[in-house]
Amino acid sequence: MKNILVAQSGGPSAAINATLCGVVEEALADRNIDRIYGAKNGIIGVLSEHLIELNDVLSNPEPLQLLCQTPSSALGSCRMKLSHWEESTFEYEKTIQIFRKYNIGYFIYIGGNDSMDTVYKLAEYCRMKKIDDICIVGAPKTIDNDLVETDHCPGFGSAAKYIAATFSEIACDCNVYALPSITIVEVMGRDAGWLTAASALGRLNGSGAPDLIYLCERPFDVDQFLTDVREKMAEKHSIIIAVSEGLRNEEGDYVTNTLKDRAVDAFGHKILAGASRFLEEILRQEIGCKVRSIELNVMQRCASHLASAADIHEARLIGMAAADYAISGGSGKMACLQRVSTNPYRFTVDFVDITKIANRVKTVPEEWINEAGNDVTQEMIDYLLPLIQGEMPCTYKNGVPVHLRLY
């Protein structure tokens, strides 16, 4: 018998713990698995040997269900980038040493684009060293929805549902007064506009917001933006604009670079924020009416009280499939959701070689952005709609949701 290890990495989401739940459920049901370990704070917890046993604490349906309604990463997360083995083998040798010490034959790493870089490097190192008794599998998670080879990513559907509901509610607030006003809402997503596109779902029940949508896939032109705003303001007194945090100009520079230099994270990505504030200042100077900017920021990542039931269900299945694949001897791949049909919505889970996924970004197709570059097409709406369906039951205590803590 062998043990299985699971860890979480990258940004939090409302669905990542459902994937953890799926991994644990599958491992508990498999007679070939003895102990289930969780690493605190991703690969950092592996290297520092901060492991916790999950068998007892998650052996009953009640805590498993509570885990599914708990947002963020119950095991903790990290944004650590492994060195390339050609530079240093220390982290790889240390990881294998820990795996041997705890008799770990299967490692499931739940995370987004950068986390799949870790899966790729560990799996490739094992392949080169002919270590064939340790199976490493990636389970996708990212609200950015930017992983390639999968139709969409667990966590995205719940974030999209939150975005849609929030824009609908912002519209109710902004339409109260008769005074001219502009509200700019900045949405996460880094260099992919999927979440910003989801703001269009806020119109489905008649709110009309947002009035304009700008994705980072299309070069942003300030002059055209001002023209678009003036045309909308001629039609209605209050407008709402959705913008991607990663808006770039024709030269490929972030529009916010004109404000100040941006720091970068461990993977070299620019730390983005401020596109809405940048545009707020421009509109205040050029249009002259009341203008305000809103950064949804971390709220869009962890709104488990508004999670998509479809998303949580898929996240749980992804975890079960990833664990089953590893226990069956599979390694070096990521579990992927493949859409069979949209109406009715059907999907399957398959596994794609991690070399085709790591360090690549899936952006919004050009044909899903309207010709003017200030909205999305019906194809985008059709793609998004199945992903936000259904509501999750939520346990409350003292008037607020109850969340599970593993340590």
pLDDT digits (tens, 9 = 90+) for 224-267: 999 999 999 999 999 999 999 999 999 998 888 765 444 444 55
**Phi, psi torsion values for 328, nearest 5 degrees:** -85, 0
Distance CA 321, CA 314 (A): 10
Domain closes at, from 300, 322, 351: 300
Residue 370 lies in a domain: no
* Residue with more model confidence, 47 or 265: 47
Residues 161 and 138 in one domain: no
Question: What is the tens place of the pLDDT at every residue in 133-179?
Answer: 999 999 999 999 999 999 999 999 999 999 999 999 999 999 898 89
Residue 177: predicted pLDDT: 86
Per-residue 3-state assignment (H helix, E strand, C coil) for the chain: CEEEEEEECCCCCCCHHHHHHHHHHHHHHCCCEEEEEEECCHHHHHHCCCEEECCCCCCCHHHHHHHHCCCCCCCCCCCCCCCCCCCCCHHHHHHHHHHHHCCEEEEEEEECHHHHHHHHHHHHHHHHCCCCCCEEEEEECCCCCCCCCCCCCCCHHHHHHHHHHHHHHHHHHHCCCCCCEEEEEEECCCCCCHHHHHHHHHHCCCCCCCCEEECCCCCCCHHHHHHHHHHHHHHCCEEEEEEECCCECCCCCEHHHHCCCCCECCCCCECCCCHHHHHHHHHHHHCCCEEEEEECHHHHCCCHHHCEHHHHHHHHHHHHHHHHHHHCCCCCEEEEEEEEEECCEEEEEEEEEHHHCCCCCCCCCHHHECCCCCCECHHHHHHHHHHHCCECCCCEECCEECCCCCC
Residue 267: predicted pLDDT: 54
Residues 12 and 132 in one domain: yes
Question: What is the tens place of the pLDDT at every residue in 198-219?
Answer: 999 999 999 889 999 999 999 9
- Mean pLDDT, residues 267-287 taken together: 77
Place of tokens 């909205």: 375
Residue 262: predicted pLDDT: 40
Residue 261: predicted pLDDT: 45
Cα distance between the two ends of the chain:
26
Residue 287 lies in a domain: yes
Residues 278 and 193 in one domain: yes
Q: How confident is the model at residue 310 (pLDDT cuts 50, 70, 90)?
A: very high
Residue 329: predicted pLDDT: 97
* Residue with more model confidence, 349 or 272: 349
Residue 314 has pLDDT above 60, yes or no: yes
The C-alpha torsion from 270 through 273 and 275 to 278, rounded to 10°, is -110
Residue 297: predicted pLDDT: 86
Residue 339 is encoded by which pair of tokens?
């859409």
Residues 179 and 113 in one domain: no
Positive or negative, the Cα torsion across 313, 315, 320, 324? Answer: positive
Q: How confident is the model at residue 341 (pLDDT cuts 50, 70, 90)?
A: very high
Residues 311 and 280 in one domain: no
Residue 133: predicted pLDDT: 97
Residue 296 lies in a domain: yes
- Mean pLDDT, residues 8-35 taken together: 97
Domain closes at, from 253, 273, 300: 300
Task: Go through 32-62 and write b for each residue having 16 or more CB atoms within 10 A of its CB, e for each that does not.
Answer: ebebbbbbbbbbbbbbeeebeebeebbeeee
Place of tokens 């599970």: 404
* Residue with more model confidence, 82 or 263: 82
Q: How confident is the model at residue 380 (pLDDT cuts 50, 70, 90)?
A: very high
Residues 315 and 196 in one domain: no
CATH code of the domain containing 206: 3.40.50.460
Mean pLDDT, rounded, of the chain = 94
Residues 318 and 270 in one domain: no
Residue 276 lies in a domain: yes
Residue 251: predicted pLDDT: 92
Residue 378 lies in a domain: no
Residue 376 lies in a domain: no
Residues 227 and 191 in one domain: yes
Burial class (CB in 10 A: 0-12, 13-18, 19+), 389: middle
Distance CA 110, CA 356 (A): 17
Residue 344: predicted pLDDT: 96
| Residues whose CB is less than 8 angstroms from the CB of residue 120 and which lie 6 or more positions away in sequence, other chains included | 332, 354, 355, 357, 358, 359
| Residues whose CB is less than 8 angstroms from the CB of residue 132 and which lie 6 or more positions away in sequence, other chains included | 126
Domain interval for residue 258: 156-300
Residue 248 is encoded by which pair of tokens?
């770039």
Residue 148 lies in a domain: no
Residue 190: predicted pLDDT: 85
Residue 353 lies in a domain: yes
Residues 7 and 101 in one domain: yes
Q: How confident is the model at residue 273 (pLDDT cuts 50, 70, 90)?
A: low
Residue 175: predicted pLDDT: 87
Residue 271 has pLDDT above 80, yes or no: no
Residue 268: predicted pLDDT: 53
Number of domains observed in the structure of the chain: 2
Residue 269: predicted pLDDT: 52
Residues 291 and 179 in one domain: yes
Place of tokens 């950064």: 295
Mean pLDDT is lowest, of 262-266, 283-287, 295-299, 340-344, for: 262-266
Percent of the chain scoring above 90 in pLDDT:
88
Distance CA 77, CA 385 (A): 29
Residue 255: predicted pLDDT: 87
Active site residues: 144
Q: How many CB atoms neighbour CB 114 within 10 A?
A: 22
| Residues whose CB is less than 8 angstroms from the CB of residue 262 and which lie 6 or more positions away in sequence, other chains included | 254, 256, 270, 271, 272
Residues 64 and 8 in one domain: yes
CATH code of the domain containing 81: 3.40.50.450
Domain closes at, from 262, 277, 300: 300
